[in-house]
């Protein structure tokens, strides 16, 4: 059995309200928000990090930034701005080994969250 927390959320084994869902991604709010808006775009497929993305996965990631743009619009950040962050591997501080992109904003982030 897969012991991955994000796989459990994707499968619905751990309930987590979805802001958005399509064939490749779900989007949920981060459980420990680092700023006013902190959402996570999570692949439905278990891919450990950017480093494990295979050629075949390119079709999944083609829409990643348009999903981020949709989330920014839903969260009213299109005009004010936002940050999209992907940690990959040990030195980045990646804590959950299942691909996710952070979408952060809702406040002025200049000079903030540099160590996330």
Closest to ligand 5GP by CB, 81 vs 93, is: 93
Question: Among 10, 27, 28, 47, which residue interacts with ligand 5GP (rule: CB under 6 A)?
Answer: 28
Residue 7, binding choice from Zn ion, ligand 5GP, none, Cβ under 5 to 8 Å by partner class: Zn ion
Question: Residue 82 CB: number of other CB atoms within 10 A?
Answer: 20
Site for ligand 5GP in 46-105 (CB under 6 A): 87, 93-96
Sheet holding 37-43, edge to edge: 20-21, 25-29, 37-43, 100-105, 82-85
Active site includes 98? no
Q: By CB under 5 A, is residue 40 in contact with Zn ion?
A: no
Rg of the chain (C-alpha set): 14
Rounded to whole angstroms, the Cα distance separating 34 from 36 reads 7
Sequence-separated (6 or more) residues with CB below 8 Å from residue 111: none
What is residue 37's DSSP assignment? E
Closest to ligand 5GP by CB, 42 vs 60, is: 42
- Cβ at position 54, least distance to ligand 5GP in Å: 20
Instruction: Please report, as ranges, the residues that interact with ligand 5GP according to CB under 6 A.
Output: 5, 16, 28-32, 40, 87, 93-96
Which residue numbers are catalytic?
Answer: 100
């Amino acid at each position: 059995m897969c012991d991955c927390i994000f796989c459990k959320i994707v499968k619905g084994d751990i309930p987590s309200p979805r802001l958005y869902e399509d064939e490749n991604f779900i989007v949920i709010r981060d459980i420990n928000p680092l700023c006013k808006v902190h959402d996570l775009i999570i692949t439905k497929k278990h891919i450990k990090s950017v480093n494990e993305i295979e050629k075949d996965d390119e079709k999944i990631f083609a829409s990643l930034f348009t999903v981020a743009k949709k989330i920014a619009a839903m969260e009213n950040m299109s005009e004010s701005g936002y940050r999209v962050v992907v940690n990959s591997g040990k030195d980045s501080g990646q804590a959950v080994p299942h691909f996710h992109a952070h979408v952060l904003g809702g406040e002025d982030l200049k000079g903030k969250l540099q160590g996330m």
